[in-house]
Chains A and B, each alone.
Chain A
Amino acid sequence: MPNHVVTDTLTLLRRNLRHTVRYPSMTIGAVFGPVIMLLLFVGVLGKTLGAGLAGTGLAGGGGHGSTGLTSAAHPAGYIAYIAPGIIITAVASGSMATAVAVCVDMTEGVVDRFRTMPVSRVAILAAHVINSMLTTIVATAGVAGVSVALGFRPHATTARWLAAAGLLVLLGLALTWLAVAMGLVSATPEAASNSPMLIVFLPFIGSAFAPAALMPAGVRQFAEYQPFTPAIETIRGLLAGTPTGHTALIALGWCAVIGAGGYAWSLAAFRKPRAH
């Protein structure tokens, strides 16, 4: 039935969107987590962290000369540094919420019904992915909006905005397929909500909230080479109007690897019957 993949995906997407609208708590959580983090880091810790970064001369919005001690000590200086990291965190937590949604869905008898019907296997998973992408995009836009409201002032051309959005979408797509696989292999929704936490917190051990160069040895190497750091650096560079260099390519490479791996893992996991 490969000729019905698109139709079936759209049919099932309608179903998933209805779920999201009728049971919005997961989506709301995906938006609120990063917003609360933003308020915490900017409103509560911003002054201290900003002062710490300013002292190192590594903080600031890049090329427009805001690394001076006084301006970086102001919360607005630190928000320029962490907003891209928070936006990435929003993408990660939005994507990872898919794991719970998929796991819950698999425990519902209706998915077993789909399996006994001539419905494309890919369509069942693709509908989840598209639904999750849509909610992640809305959530990420919301988080970006709050950042701007708190004083984040990006200096980017339209083309750079689009490039940043494009990278975020690719990252979201890759992480969502990974989350689908995690949801499929999790025995319970509780387990499905735990394992992705590692991924949601990975940006912390990267350059999201502080430069990797300031981290202790060992942690620093990990922070420099883990997948989120090039993505965060690329987004930061695109929004600050500074050159991104080869980090953009590395970020795209990671997206491709994570996405392809997640897709293959998801399909393999879905073809295996679940023990009841």
Chain B
Amino acid sequence: MTNTVPPMNTVPPTNTVPPTTPRPALAITATGLRKSYGGKPVLDGIDLRVPAGTVFAMLGPNGAGKTTTVRILSTLIAADGGRASVAGHDLAAEPGAVRAAIGVTGQFSAVDNLLSARENLILMADLYHLGRRPGRRRAAELLDRFGLGDVAGQPISTYSGGLRRRLDLAMTLVGSPRVIFLDEPTTGLDPRSRRGLWTIVRELVAGGVTIFLTTQYLEEADQLADRIGVLDHGRMVAEGSAAELKRLVPGGHITVHVADPSALAAAAAALGATTVDEDALTAQVPGDQRGIAGDSTSGNSTSGNSASGGRTSGNTASAVRSVLDRLDAAGIAIADLSVHTPDLDDVFLALTGER
């Protein structure tokens, strides 16, 4: 699955089947998916194995091929090569059966703007042939669950982006899909709406639904996904859990800002700083204990798979404490201190090299 193994890749090869005893049912499988537009390859051989009831996040920049992957897997377009099956049905042979099992919330709002939220949901219920009364009931239930009850009768044109996205997802759920594709579901949403959507995704997964998510945000993948695939130029350049991926990139760094050049020299010496910027009066050290030579806290156990998106792990916290202790001991006053944790840019630069 890992087509390109970057030099700093310390993760064991990810194409080995995890040693779980009962083989989990796979909700999505793909081998060698290919798609070109005008002779230019957009997807260049993608392999996927997503176990049922898990969240798979496809991470990548604009143009990496994320949306194309979703459009192929959701039967909107045909692949030029390769095979894929969703919910146990082959995409090419049984597109109808695939459509009956999936729900898709695309990057662009897929609601009917001339209908109200309630009418949109009832339209979905009718198209899924739920029957008149159960269909109305399902619509009311979803309006309630997504906090759309108060605006249910208003035209969609009056809705905010967050409200619209919620309706979009509610429409996806009308048919109780077993596999849901979410193509950049939180792009353009404010933090509150984003968190609200994450909660919904977690509830769905708790109910046994499989989620295939694309995102540009490492934090989103970190929060939601069991496995993350990093897509670049139509190829999967790495795949693993959030913790595994983060080990692929150098840790973050701590930047100390001082008031004058003499303090900068002293601070750099005290810290053994790796990078010194004399114009900005800043000195940088690696943000985890691995990077700080002679640090005494290396026995500090860190558990879990956190450490990204602005949160600091035990590692980073002890590194900050160590930095402050050293500066204190050397009697250096600092103007400011900032901590940078690995983000998508770091993962990307590390995984794709100079391109």
Contacts and interface: CB of A to CB of B under 8 A. Distances in A.
Interface of A: 1, 4, 7-8, 11-12, 14-15, 18-19, 22-23, 108-110, 112-119, 273, 275-276
A113 B104 contact: yes
B100 A112 contact: no
Interface in B97-130: 99-100, 102-104, 106, 108-115, 119, 123-124, 126-129
A35 B308 CA distance: 67
Given A11-B126, A11-B127, A116 B115 contact: no
Nearest to B67: A276
Contact of B112 (A4, A110, A116): A110
Given A15-B112, A117-B175, A112 B119 contact: no
A147 B267 CA distance: 94
Contacts of B216: none
Is the contact region of chain A dominated by helix, strand, or loop, or is it mixed?
helix
A108 B129 contact: no
Contact of A117 (B77, B109, B119, B128): B128
B106 A112 contact: yes
A18 B111 contact: no
A118 B112 contact: no
Contacts of B37: 275
A118 B96 contact: yes
Nearest to A8: B127
A109 B127 contact: no
B76 interface: yes
Given A23-B114, A109-B111, A118 B76 contact: no
Contact of B110 (A1, A7, A19, A113): A113
B75 A116 contact: yes
Nearest to A22: B114
Contacts of B115: 15, 18
Contacts of A19: 114
B27 to A, nearest CB: 16
Contacts of A14: 123
**Residue from A11, A19, A22 whose CB has the most chain B CB atoms within 10 Å:** A11
